[in-house]
Structure 1
Amino acid sequence: MTEAGTLTRADLAESLHKNIGLSRADSSRMVEQVLSCMCDALGRGENVKISGFGTFVLRDKGERVGRNPKTGVEVPIAPRRVLTFRASQMMRERIIDAG
């Protein structure tokens, strides 16, 4: 993991290289393939569930009225699709235990 506490693609590939024994090039390719599969599925409107980790869920938000916090003027917010992540129960427990 990097100094700032962020796990990167390179960190994932390095972990595969060290723990599984794949070459660095193969490890990097594998990480890219997994992420590409996830992106493709989300692009098709499918949710992505990784057991023991969590679920990436697409939600369609309808048009609504928002308010500019500085001026108080109401502004229409266009409908859009948003991506959310719901951690699995196992992941929640690990996070709570680590904290």
Structure 2
Amino acid sequence: MNKTELIEHIAGKSDISKAAATRALASIIEAVKKTLKKGDTVTLVGFGTFSVSKRAARTGRNPRTGAALKIKAAKVPRFKPGKGLKDALN
């Protein structure tokens, strides 16, 4: 499912226009981004938790030449599924 299909699904289930569903989805995504950027977590009970973890700097290899490269430390988003989501899949 891509973003367009998700918007259509939200609009159909919520009985709202696609424009309103687009604004609602954009608002949710923006709120998650801002919260994660501050270093906080976003927990949706029954669905899962979005968080940020730190990836340490490390040495990698250029696959083409085999030369060593320094890869900078980075903050990466993480998602841990909740019990409700796990149960729905199994």
TM-score relative to the length of structure 1: 0.72
CA distance in 1, matches of 2:72, 2:21: 41
Could you tell me which residue of structure 1 aligns to residue 50 of structure 2?
56
Secondary structure of 1:83's aligned partner: strand
Unaligned runs of 5+ in 2: none
Select the residue among 26, 42, 47 that pairs with 2:36: 42
Residue of structure 1 in register with 2:21 after alignment: 27
Report the Cα offset of residue 61 of structure 1.
2.0
Q: Distance in 2 between the 1:76 and 1:52 partners?
A: 39
**Aligned-pair Cα RMSD in Å:** 2.1
Secondary structure at 2:5 match in 1: helix
Tell me which of the two structures has the higher relative contact order, counting C-alpha pairs closer than 8 angstroms and 6 or more residues apart.
2
Distance 1:55 1:12 in 2: 20
**How far did 1:11 drift?**
1.9
Matches within 5 A, 1:1-99: 7-66=1-60, 74-95=68-89, 97=90
**5+ long unaligned stretches in structure 1:** 1-6
State TM-score, norm by structure 2. 0.77
The structure-2 alpha-carbon separation of the partners of 1:72 and 1:10, relative to structure 1 and needing over 3 Å to count, comes to: closer
In the TM superposition, what is the alpha-carbon distance from 1:38 to its structure 2 partner?
Answer: 1.0
Query: Are residues 11 and 65 of structure 1, via their aligned partners in 2, closer, same or farther at CA, if it must alter by over 3 Å?
Result: same
